[in-house]
Chains A and B, each alone.
Chain A
Amino acid sequence: MPAAGDAAALPRARPGAPGRRGLWTDAWRRFARNPVRIGAAATALLIVALSLLAPLIAPARYDVVNIAEPLAPPSPRHWLGTDAIGRDVLSRLLYGGRTSLEVALTVVGLGVVVGVPLGTLAGFAGGWVDYVIMRLVEVSTALPGLLLAMLVISVLGSGVGNVILALALAAWIEPCRLMRAQTLALRDREFVEAAWAQGATTGHLIGRHILPNALGPLIVVVTLNIPRMIFSEASLSFLGLGINDPLPSWGKMVSESVSYLEVSPMLGIAPTLMIAVAVLSLTLVGDGLRDALDPSKDQGL
């Protein structure tokens, strides 16, 4: 008999309407109700689209140099001005989005794909499985990414793929620990026991009870790690361990803009704003997703 304190779990165990399709259409309706969320989703999609379509819509290629026009302020020809060797900032911003999003989303995605199952396994199985996985986590945390990146680049060379490799080696840690904590917290609750007694499979337990609870913090981890990865890639590239010039990325553009802060602030403002807007819209979308997938969360206190 579930205790009153565990009643929290019960509403989630029941879909809002008969059949799975009903859950999603309900979720969509809830999501669409909030104009801020819609705006955020639209912005996120716009940024992704702009980045993907960069070769088609950018005024120039990202590597077109014009040393006669360095550090030009915004003008009709160059909407965001030019950088130190006359490259169009707007074009580099659009192309940069491709690189940054590619690296950040891949790394974070890999981190989730590897970390979530590992963490759930660790929390669910406990015992020596948990022990081994956690020791693996601790070893991975201690090894410095800089050193790993230097090894990767001296052996494999530079390039987007190698940057992703160097960064992904640590990206799985946070999702893993988060899922483990959530699993541990819920594993031995009575409602889980009850469902187990009723013959629910492990998959059902994880999918219905544990994952939805972890979704919120997981989304925050994802939205936090995206800018982190953007800047990790930038610092690696800054040290010659990442992506070669002239291929731009938002993080690289921000790092390079530091030397020109006082005279061409646009060089730094443009990519920083892009990153901030991208992160903000992804954050709001993520929040909205989490809210939408759980109907009991519409109100605050």
Chain B
Amino acid sequence: MTGRYLLGRVAGLGIVVVVVSILAFALMHAVPGGPFDETQMPLPPAAKANILHKYALDKPLWVQYVNYVGHALRGDFGIPYQSPTETVLGLIARVWPVTLLLGGIVVAISFTCGLGLGILAAVRHNTWLDTLLTALASLGMTVPNFIIAIWLILILSVRLHWLPTGGWGQARLLIMPVIAYSLQPLAIVARYTRVAVLEVLSSDYVRTARAKGLSPARVVARHVLRNACIPIVTLLGPMIPDLFTGSIFIEFTFRIPGLGKFFVSSIFERDYPMIMATILLVAVLWSLTYLLSDLLYVVIDPRVRVGARGR
């Protein structure tokens, strides 16, 4: 892991951002429709021309792109059509912390419980407990979170009157969204952990360690986790930025003023500045995540040589 390698990765981030920005720009303009509404009657050509001119959408695409890049490099990512009284950066700065908070709690819960349950299932492999946990995890993976959300509201709010149906600002308003949002990641983490741990559990050096008299817990801690970590990091790493960018279903259903809804609403509203901003955000987040997981590989297992030429 050399400095040169890291430099190359940072340059890679830049390349990805540029490529993604070009593709995203082309893609969003290729989709029919625009930021204007024609729900009742079609806009007369003159009115439509006025709107396109106002948003500078009547210039050739490459000119628009160059303008966008020029502004972006100076930190100006435009004004969201959905919220014209603030800037794109201002909007993101306002709503992302909400999503981060919810996402952070969900990550903490799903990863700790998931890891624990996964290890438990692996250690009790081929027993009824393992099968039960696997079944529960399958259920958790397949029931979509909006269904869980609606059931929670029906039971806890409407029938029992224990909690309000939604909103943001009090701790108790987090209970239902967190439950609905973390079941699926928890199940996924448990599944991957179990399988990764299993891969390593019965390998010879673990058996050797047991034969040497080490307790199961120490074997798990010292050998199993370390070697099982690589696939875990690979597959679970991306879940974190995923949870940190939010779920539109959860935020919509529980009236949470977060970033999640903007990933979808921007596309439906053809809110071009927000579409670009959200896509670029995702690109940067994921590239950083992949970089971090590559670095983690080396930390976990120093024999791994990322970036070196192989065969």
Q: In their complex, do chains A and B touch, with some C-beta pair under 8 Å?
A: yes
Establish whether residues B192 and A220, one from each chain, have CB atoms under 8 Å apart when the complex forms.
yes
Cα distance A102–B297 when bound, in Å? 36
Given known pairs A138-B16, A142-B279, the reply for A300 and B122 (CB within 8 Å) is yes
A57–chain B nearest beta-carbon distance, Å: 24
Closest A residue to B310 by CB, please name it: A126
Establish whether residues A187 and B310, one from each chain, have CB atoms under 8 Å apart when the complex forms.
yes
With beta carbons under 8 angstroms apart, the residue of A141, A150, A184, A275 that contacts B304 is A184
> Across the interface, which residues of A come within 8 angstroms of B263, CB to CB?
144, 146
A31 on the B face (CB < 8 A) = no
The contact string, 1 if C-beta is below 8 Å from chain B, for chain A 139-163, is: 1011110111011001000000000
B231 on the A face (CB < 8 A) = yes
Establish whether residues B144 and A261, one from each chain, have CB atoms under 8 Å apart when the complex forms.
no
Cα distance A231–B201 when bound, in Å? 34
Instruction: Assign chain B's interface to a size class.
Output: 35 or more
The contact string, 1 if C-beta is below 8 Å from chain A, for chain B 137-148, is: 011011110110
B221–chain A nearest beta-carbon distance, Å: 12
The contact string, 1 if C-beta is below 8 Å from chain A, for chain B 112-141, is: 000000000011111100110011001101
A202 on the B face (CB < 8 A) = yes
B30 on the A face (CB < 8 A) = yes
B299 on the A face (CB < 8 A) = no
The contact string, 1 if C-beta is below 8 Å from chain A, for chain B 181-201, is: 000000010011001101101
Closest B residue to A196 by CB, please name it: B311
With beta carbons under 8 angstroms apart, the residue of A126, A217, A301 that contacts B231 is A217
Cα distance A301–B143 when bound, in Å? 32
Give A204-224 interface residues, CB cut-off 8 Å to B. 213-214, 216-217, 219-221, 223-224
Cα distance A212–B124 when bound, in Å? 22
Most A CB within 10 A of own CB, among B23, B135, B204, B279? B204
Cα distance A196–B130 when bound, in Å? 39
Establish whether residues B151 and A261, one from each chain, have CB atoms under 8 Å apart when the complex forms.
yes
B44 on the A face (CB < 8 A) = no
A131–chain B nearest beta-carbon distance, Å: 7
> Across the interface, which residues of A come within 8 angstroms of B154, CB to CB?
261-262
A234–chain B nearest beta-carbon distance, Å: 8
Establish whether residues B205 and A8, one from each chain, have CB atoms under 8 Å apart when the complex forms.
yes
Establish whether residues B283 and A142, one from each chain, have CB atoms under 8 Å apart when the complex forms.
yes
Given known pairs A147-B27, A300-B126, the reply for A185 and B301 (CB within 8 Å) is yes
B280–chain A nearest beta-carbon distance, Å: 8
Given known pairs A181-B297, A216-B198, the reply for A135 and B208 (CB within 8 Å) is no
> Across the interface, which residues of A come within 8 angstroms of B303, CB to CB?
185, 188-189
With beta carbons under 8 angstroms apart, the residue of A127, A217, A254, A268 that contacts B308 is A127
Establish whether residues B286 and A142, one from each chain, have CB atoms under 8 Å apart when the complex forms.
yes
B109 on the A face (CB < 8 A) = no
B77–chain A nearest beta-carbon distance, Å: 16
B51 on the A face (CB < 8 A) = no
Cα distance A154–B32 when bound, in Å? 7
Instruction: Assign chain A's interface to a size class.
Output: 35 or more
Cα distance A290–B147 when bound, in Å? 33
> Across the interface, which residues of A come within 8 angstroms of B122, CB to CB?
300
The contact string, 1 if C-beta is below 8 Å from chain B, for chain A 3-43, is: 01101101100000000000000000000001010000000
A299 on the B face (CB < 8 A) = yes
> Across the interface, which residues of A come within 8 angstroms of B16, CB to CB?
135, 138-139, 142
Tell me which of A62-70, A107-115, A280-288 binds B: A280-288
A233 on the B face (CB < 8 A) = no
Establish whether residues A151 and B30, one from each chain, have CB atoms under 8 Å apart when the complex forms.
yes
A297 on the B face (CB < 8 A) = yes
The contact string, 1 if C-beta is below 8 Å from chain B, for chain A 247-285, is: 000000010001001100000100010011001100110
A54 on the B face (CB < 8 A) = no
A95 on the B face (CB < 8 A) = no
With beta carbons under 8 angstroms apart, the residue of B231, B267, B282 that contacts A178 is B231
Establish whether residues B144 and A254, one from each chain, have CB atoms under 8 Å apart when the complex forms.
yes
> Across the interface, which residues of A come within 8 angstroms of B198, CB to CB?
216, 297
A124 on the B face (CB < 8 A) = yes
> Across the interface, which residues of B come within 8 angstroms of A217, CB to CB?
192, 195-196, 199, 231, 234-235
Cα distance A125–B290 when bound, in Å? 18
Give B285-311 interface residues, CB cut-off 8 Å to A. 286-287, 290, 293, 297, 301, 303-311
Closest B residue to A286 by CB, please name it: B195
A177 on the B face (CB < 8 A) = yes
Closest B residue to A274 by CB, please name it: B142
Establish whether residues B279 and A143, one from each chain, have CB atoms under 8 Å apart when the complex forms.
yes
> Across the interface, which residues of B come within 8 angstroms of A148, CB to CB?
27
Known A217-B195, A262-B154; further 6 A-B contacts with Cβ < 8 A: A141-B283, A142-B282, A146-B264, A146-B267, A181-B233, A254-B147
Question: Can you list 21 residue pairs at the A/B interface with Cβ under 8 Å?
Answer: A4-B205, A124-B311, A125-B310, A127-B308, A130-B307, A131-B307, A135-B19, A142-B286, A143-B24, A181-B233, A184-B306, A185-B301, A188-B310, A220-B195, A254-B147, A276-B143, A279-B142, A280-B134, A280-B139, A296-B204, A300-B125
Residues of A within 8 A of B (CB): 4-5, 7-8, 10-11, 34, 36, 123-127, 130-131, 134-135, 137-139, 141-144, 146-148, 150-151, 154, 174, 177-178, 180-182, 184-185, 187-189, 196, 202, 213-214, 216-217, 219-221, 223-224, 227, 231, 254, 258, 261-262, 268, 272, 275-276, 279-280, 283-284, 287, 290, 296-301
